[in-house]
Amino acid sequence: MNRSIPLAGAGLALLLSACANPGAQDPLLRTGAIGPQSLSANLVRSNSAEPPSTIPGECWADAVTPAVFETDTIHQLVQPAKPAKDGQPAQPAEYQTITRQRIVQDRQNVWFRTPCPTDVTPDFVGTLQRALLARGYYNGPLTGAMDAPTQAALRRFQAERGLDSAILSLGAARMLGLFTYNLGQPQVAVGTPEANGDATTPAAGN
């Protein structure tokens, strides 16, 4: 489940993003998402209804991650083995299987940075679709629309990297080659005049 701060004038599914600026650090998320392809380092755990920072210029969205359970299975001795005696055959030991579940990570809310709505043009979404298509996550037409199949493909891509959300994170955008920047540095969307070297003004979000 995703929720976010509404933004005026946003299009596509990324209306769910919230504009604010990030002076905050971006740590954490989900168990099992480790290594260079993990998005966990780009996420901020917070139960606040507000993004981690409110300085204008960058955009945030949030997602609720489910609780993580671990299942333990043990075999408990019920009846010890009995040796053969007085003409009676030997009897093997008897066990019962006991399964227990325990919570290893509580349900939690996380915030993450997203491309701002002004960056999410049809050309940008088309590039996203091509990137997901090339990686085997999307098999639909290149419509330039953030429709249900595109969101489902994006969710699969991000979920494998620790963020179960259909809202594009900046970390995933960087992995997919959609932004020519590193997190914490000026962001330039692929296909914009700034990315093509046709403008001298800073990209949106600086």
Q: What is the pLDDT of residue 105?
A: 67
pTM over 0.75: no
86-101 residue pLDDT tens: 778 888 888 888 888 8
Tell me if residue 5 falls in helix, strand or coil: coil
The band of 202, judged by pLDDT with boundaries at 50, 70 and 90, is: very low
Phi first, then psi: give them for residue 129, nearest 5 degrees.
-60, -40
Look at residue 71 and tell me whether its pLDDT is greater than 70. yes
72 membership: H or E segment, kind and range = strand 68-79
101-131 residue pLDDT tens: 887 767 788 999 999 999 999 999 999 999 9
| Polymer length in residues for the chain | 206
Look at residue 183 and tell me whether its pLDDT is greater than 60. no
Which residue, among 155, 147, 128, 132, has the nearest Cα to 2 in the 3D structure?
Answer: 155
Phi first, then psi: give them for residue 5, nearest 5 degrees.
-80, 130
Burial zone of 145 (CB within 10 Å; 0-12 exposed, 13-18 middle, 19+ buried): middle
8 A C-beta contact, residue 60 and residue 18: yes
- The amino acid sitting at 181 is Y
